[in-house]
């Protein structure tokens, strides 16, 4: 087998219908799939709830989780029993539930083998008056419980306006909700644990969706402390690079390609989603909507074309 054949893994996305989903993922990224109300596109995932299939040889039709188990050398021998990241597009045509995610310790005790859920958001597009919920106004646990019991959501939640290009880190314990009119890309730990505190009384299949009041109370951080971003912007020979975050679980970047240039990406491996444009990575064509992994064998290459790339690697 030629080592060049193992340098890049193109993935077939997994699409998730959601009660709050829309149609922008399908139309903007040219997926042409016959599914309505797409809330999420899992572009890079080896999670059991959405295990992406590899599209290209020599691993064509193999689930990413299987390759992770069989060929850890392709991922820089990264030390994790499961593929550590999950990269997704999210289209909120309606408000998502107000929710909290657990950390690793709570997640493991709640569901064996599940990771906690640290995540970050980059807003790709949003309505002019869009906002998100991030954090709460309770000063202590008693006040938080009182506001929840009294359905005082307007007093409890901390809602902030957003615009295209905004970035948010959502750590475990942070009360949050993506709201109507928002399209974003999310990098997160490979976890599907979400605890709903409030869901506006919505019905799904004629029944209210499950809430997780106890779990939210167990996991919530009180008082809320806003995350302080340290976003770094670099003008480069190929265009620009934005370094959004390094945290315990991942690093997240944006690359803007307008000139042909040699690139040297760090990390054991890199997860890449093409946000716009088209171009080439060496002799391989890439375009808007593509999701692929640059294996540990492929850190230095030439990028050309007009491209906007979201890049994540595990820490």
Q: Per the residue annotation, which of 24, 71, 158, 196 is the catalytic one?
A: 196
What is the pLDDT at residue 2?
A: 54
Q: Is 176 annotated as a binding residue?
A: yes
Look up 196 and say whether it is catalytic. Answer: yes
pLDDT, one tens digit per residue, over 38-56 is 999 999 999 999 999 999 9
What is the pLDDT at residue 5?
A: 76
Is 46:65 a contact under the CB 8 Å cutoff?
Answer: yes
Q: How far apart are CA 181 and CA 185, in angstroms?
A: 14
Q: How far apart are CA 194 and CA 216, in angstroms?
A: 9
Q: How far apart are CA 50 and CA 91, in angstroms?
A: 17
What is the pLDDT at residue 242?
A: 98
Instruction: Look at residues 107, 294, 97, 70 and name the one whose alpha carbon lies nearest to residue 188.
Output: 107
Cα dihedral angle (113, 298, 263, 40), rounded to 10 degrees?
A: -40
Ordered by where they begin, the domains of the chain are 3-219 (2.60.120.10), 232-314 (2.60.120.10)
Residue indicated by tokens 């959004």: 244
Verdict on whether the full-model pTM lies above 0.85: yes
Dihedral sign (CA 132, 134, 140, 146): positive
End-to-end Cα distance, the chain: 29
**How many CB atoms lie under 10 A from the CB of residue 236?**
14
What is the pLDDT at residue 48?
A: 95
- What pLDDT tens digit does each residue of the chain (315 aa) get? 455 779 999 999 999 999 999 999 999 999 988 888 999 999 999 999 999 999 999 999 999 999 999 999 999 999 999 999 999 999 999 999 999 999 999 999 999 889 999 999 999 999 999 999 999 999 999 999 999 999 999 999 999 999 999 999 999 999 999 999 999 999 999 999 999 999 999 988 889 999 999 999 999 999 999 999 999 999 998 999 999 999 999 999 999 999 898 999 888 999 999 999 999 999 999 999 999 999 999 999 999 999 999 999 999
Q: Is 101 annotated as a binding residue?
A: yes
The CA-CA-CA angle for residues 210, 158, 232, to 5°, reads 110
**How many CB atoms lie under 10 A from the CB of residue 315?**
12
What is the pLDDT at residue 309?
A: 98
Q: Which helix (H) or strand (E) holds 28?
A: helix 24-28
């Amino acid at each position: 087998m030629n080592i060049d054949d193992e340098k890049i893994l193109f993935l077939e996305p997994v699409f998730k219908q959601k009660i709050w989903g829309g149609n922008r993922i399908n139309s903007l990224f040219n997926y042409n799939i016959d599914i309505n109300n797409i809330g999420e596109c899992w572009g890079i995932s080896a999670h059991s709830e959405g295990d992406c299939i590899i599209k290209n040889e020599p691993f064509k039709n193999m689930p990413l989780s299987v390759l992770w188990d069989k060929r850890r050398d392709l991922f820089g021998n990264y030390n994790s029993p499961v593929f550590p990241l999950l990269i997704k597009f999210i289209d909120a045509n309606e408000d998502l539930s107000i929710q909290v995610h657990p950390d690793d310790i709570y997640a493991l005790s709640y569901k064996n083998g599940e990771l906690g859920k640290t995540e970050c958001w980059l807003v790709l597009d949003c309505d002019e008056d869009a906002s998100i919920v991030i954090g709460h106004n309770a000063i202590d646990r008693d006040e938080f419980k009182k506001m929840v019991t009294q359905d005082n959501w307007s007093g409890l939640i901390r809602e902030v306006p957003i615009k295209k290009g905004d970035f948010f880190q959502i750590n475990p314990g942070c009360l949050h909700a993506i709201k109507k009119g928002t399209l974003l890309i999310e990098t997160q730990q490979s976890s599907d644990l979400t605890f709903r505190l409030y869901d506006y009384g919505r019905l799904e299949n004629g029944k209210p969706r499950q809430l997780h009041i106890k779990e939210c109370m167990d996991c919530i951080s009180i008082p809320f402390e806003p995350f302080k971003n340290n976003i770094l912007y670099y003008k480069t020979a190929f265009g620009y690079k934005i370094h959004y975050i390094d945290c315990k679980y991942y690093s997240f970047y944006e690359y803007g390609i307008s000139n042909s240039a040699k690139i040297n990406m760090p990390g054991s491996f890199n997860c890449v989603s093409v946000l716009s444009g088209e171009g080439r990575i060496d002799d391989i064509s890439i375009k808007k909507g593509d999701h692929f992994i640059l294996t540990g064998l492929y850190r230095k290459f030439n990028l050309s074309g007009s491209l906007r790339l979201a890049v994540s690697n595990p820490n």
